[in-house]
Amino acid sequence: MKRPLISTYIIAVVALSSLLLWPANLHAQAKKTLAADKNAEPELYQGVSVGVDVFGFLNQALGSDIMTTEASVEANLLNKFFPVVELGYASINTTNDETDIFYKTSAPFFRVGLNYNVFHQKSHLPGYFTVGLRYGFSSFKYDVQAPDLVDPNWGHTSIPVSYNAQKTNASWAELVLGLRANVYKGLYTGFTVRYRARLGMTEHENSEPYFIPGYGRGKANNLGITYNIIYKLPF
Amino acid sequence: MKNIKTTLSILSIALMALLVACGGEPECPLNSVSMARFDFRDSKTQASVKLTTGATVTGLATIDGALETDTVFNKAESYMSVPLSYTSQTTYVIHYTETMRDTIELKHKNIPFVSDIECPALMYYEVESFRYTTHALDSIKLVNPKITNEETINFNIYYRGSSAE
């Protein structure tokens, strides 16, 4: 299996470079323009944005066995609260080089939650720094196959290890930190870092899922990232 | 504005460092063999006792119709951890002396388990039934029928006072 560690570094650099898109000169102009409206009450509905996560594409292009496609729809309320729905599809088809264990799954997933714009009072900023929560769910089947187990003491007995179509439901919570910047008109780019904790998962007698679509590595908790391109719809 | 940019930059770098740090080596269990643990106790006082020095434990399993034996324990300890066979039955003979011995027979379910593709598959077991002789030992109590690679007590073997040290 190709480890995604190198791509993590590369994406980290790409994500950090997005900070360079923060246009300081625009801030000054925006600050002057918006200063006049400082005391105005913001409207409840501030628009809807749609976004795609390009991290999944880049991750696979850089050699990962994991493919994730993900889109989101987010409403802006008071420039403070952002209820969001995220839908996606993830797949993995991999064999570990050291253990020779094969794992395969592919399934859709969804998440629902809310972001809070920490800098909502600084409306002159051409971007957002958000803290959010998500509830995620995926229903999937996975195949896992390992080399036969050979009895280490009475060495003539071997047991096959092959379990296919293991039907599993998994749910999880995410703490999401996000940063996004306006790059051109209604176009934004940014990234989120997500701490994920599993809430529940179907248990099987012979295996645990290595990868859960939308969650990542099937451990009790993990850390993930998305790199998003977001478009604010003109209505 | 400068403060905000600085704060965001530091926060971003910290988050990325955390993310990269989390991409480390897999945490595979150090102990990859599941052993049944029997604790030796005095039947009256429940106190821990040791097997007599020189006692050995032989494991027996029937493989393809032939009985195969293996010495699986030979320490004067207050417990023994012994492997199980990949057949449905494993028998242990505890040799206290040349003439005194007890036999314990376990019938078990074998449960191959894959927890992570980066770690080798393991064999777990579940004890379905057991029986034993009572030449030196008094009784055996099943504490936990699930036998995994974690160090847990599965059986207590109770001895009459003079049978063990």
Report chain A residues whose CB lies below 8 A from the CB of B114.
Answer: 101, 144, 146, 161, 163, 206-208
Here the tokens at position A128 are 């957002």
Yes or no, beta carbons of B111 and A205 under 8 Å apart: yes
**pLDDT band at residue B70, thresholds of 50, 70 and 90?**
confident
Q: What is the ipTM of this complex?
A: 0.79
B-chain residue closest to A145, CA distance: B114
A87-105 per-position pLDDT tens digit: 999 999 999 999 999 999 9
Question: Rounded distance, CA A186 to CA A21, Å?
Answer: 14
Question: Rounded distance, CA A15 to CA A63, Å?
Answer: 18
CA angle, B19 then B20 then B25, to 5°: 110
pTM to 2 decimal places? 0.81
> Does the pLDDT value for residue B47 go beyond 60?
yes
Q: Domain map of chain A by residue range?
A: 5-32+46-232
> Does the pLDDT value for residue B136 go beyond 50?
yes
**pLDDT band at residue B132, thresholds of 50, 70 and 90?**
very high
Report chain A residues whose CB lies below 8 A from the CB of B86.
Answer: 149-151, 154, 157-159
> Which DSSP letter does residue A161 get?
E
Q: For A44-53, A116-125, A129-138, B20-29, which range has the lowest pLDDT when averaged over its residues? A: B20-29
Closest CA to A189 of A108, A126, A102: A126
Q: Which amino acid is at A75?
A: A
Yes or no, beta carbons of A154 and B20 under 8 Å apart: no
Which class is A5-32+46-232 in CATH? mainly beta
Q: Domain map of chain B by residue range?
A: 31-159
Q: What is the CA radius of gyration of chain A?
A: 22
Yes or no, beta carbons of B86 and A157 under 8 Å apart: yes
Residue B45 C-alpha, separation from nearest chain A C-alpha, in angstroms: 35
Q: Which amino acid is at B105?
A: E
Q: What is the pLDDT of residue B5?
A: 56
Distance set, CA B100 to CA B41, B49, B96, B135, B155 (Å): 18, 18, 6, 7, 21
Distance set, CA A140 to CA A68, A96, A103, A184, B48 (Å): 14, 21, 13, 38, 49
